[in-house]
Amino acid sequence: MQKRVIIQSLQLLCLTFLMGAAYAQQIDLSNQTWSTEVIRKSGQAVIPLYDGWYPNEDGSKTICFGYFNMNSEQALDIPLGDENYLETDYPGLDLSTANIPTHFDPLPPRYRHVFCAFTVNVPAGFNTNHRITWHLSSNRFSLDVPGKVLPPYVLDEPQSLGRGDLAPLVKLERDEAGSRGRTGVHARKTLNTSVGEAVSLRAWIEHPDEVVWVGWSHHSGSGNVAFDNKEYEIQTNDGLASVQARFTKPGDYVIRMQTIDSIAAFEFYCCHTNAYFNVNVSN
């Protein structure tokens, strides 16, 4: 009996020593240079994402890029330049007018990453051997993602016959034809406002479902943008989606609106519509 007690005591002593040694090797979370947690409140990178591509009727193709901000609270602003740019190996393809985002919202709690925030149209000659690469650097991480027209990554656009999904039709003027899908509709007019003053953004949305989801985002521009109602659902029998936006700094901004029949459908990569509004803000 005494021998058993001694053995158990030695085992406990060894276990205590080993646990102490293990704890001694731990590094406080705030001092780690790498992350054991994928999602943090701040300090993590924005990951550029290739969401796929789709063919167009004229033979050209469109490549979709989205992003995944691994910060639950920190928004990041990354101006165009050495830390935020596109490059391609396709000769003569001009990427200077690509609608690249420079503002990256924190991680959306309901649908996790921002799907197809912008698109790049490529000519018919762009094949599986070519690529467009999006480079994005943030919080000490330099990342890039290639966009290619590989068959396994083709997207349903603007509808999925298998799932019965259809991208909403969006009009930025009540009497215009409108557009469906991720290429989106771009406002022809630039809206003007001043710092701190609200500007109203509106779109008319049509869809067979009675209700669709609408989300507004700061796409590019150097200051902060506050929306009076960032995400909501609307009744399609009326179809009007609107938001009031206020800006903290002068400059040129792009506001992105996305709409889909249900945010759950984002996970199936079909089918949403983008709309982009240009806003000039003065002092």
pLDDT at residue 49 greater than cutoff 90: yes
pLDDT at 89: 98
Average pLDDT, the chain: 89
pLDDT at 3: 46
Spell out the residues 6+ positions from residue 56 whose beta carbon is closer than 8 angstroms to its own: 62, 121
pLDDT at 202: 98
Condensed to tens digits (0 to 9), the pLDDT of residues 52-72 reads: 999 999 999 999 999 999 999
pLDDT at 216: 98
User: Cα-flanking dihedrals φ and ψ of residue 22, to 5°?
Assistant: -65, -45
pLDDT band at 23 (very low <50, low <70, confident <90, very high): very low
pLDDT band at 227 (very low <50, low <70, confident <90, very high): very high
Report which of 101, 82, 95 is spatially closest to residue 220, judged by C-alpha positions.
Answer: 101
pLDDT at 10: 42
Distance between CA atoms of 269 and 134, rounded to whole angstroms?
A: 20
pLDDT band at 163 (very low <50, low <70, confident <90, very high): confident
pLDDT at residue 13 greater than cutoff 50: no
pTM reported for the whole predicted model:
0.85
AA letter at 119: T
CA distances to 170, 227, 269 from 265, in Å: 18, 24, 7
Range from 9-18, 51-60, 94-103, 116-125 carrying the lowest mean pLDDT: 9-18
Average pLDDT over residues 170-193: 95
Helix (H) or strand (E) holding 24: helix 2-24
pLDDT at 32: 52
pLDDT at 35: 52
Phi/psi class of residue 33: alpha, beta or left (left: φ > 0; alpha: ψ in -120 to 50)?
A: alpha
For the chain, list the domains and their CATH numbers.
46-153 (2.60.40), 159-282 (2.60.40.10)
pLDDT at residue 225 greater than cutoff 70: yes
pLDDT at 279: 99
Token representation of residue 80: 């165009």
Burial class (CB in 10 A: 0-12, 13-18, 19+), 134: buried
Token representation of residue 83: 């830390």
Condensed to tens digits (0 to 9), the pLDDT of residues 117-150 reads: 999 999 999 999 999 999 999 999 999 999 999 9
Burial class (CB in 10 A: 0-12, 13-18, 19+), 20: exposed
Distance between CA atoms of 256 and 97, rounded to whole angstroms?
A: 16
DSSP 167: P
Distance between CA atoms of 156 and 268, rounded to whole angstroms?
A: 10
AA letter at 270: C
End-to-end alpha-carbon separation of the chain, Å? 87
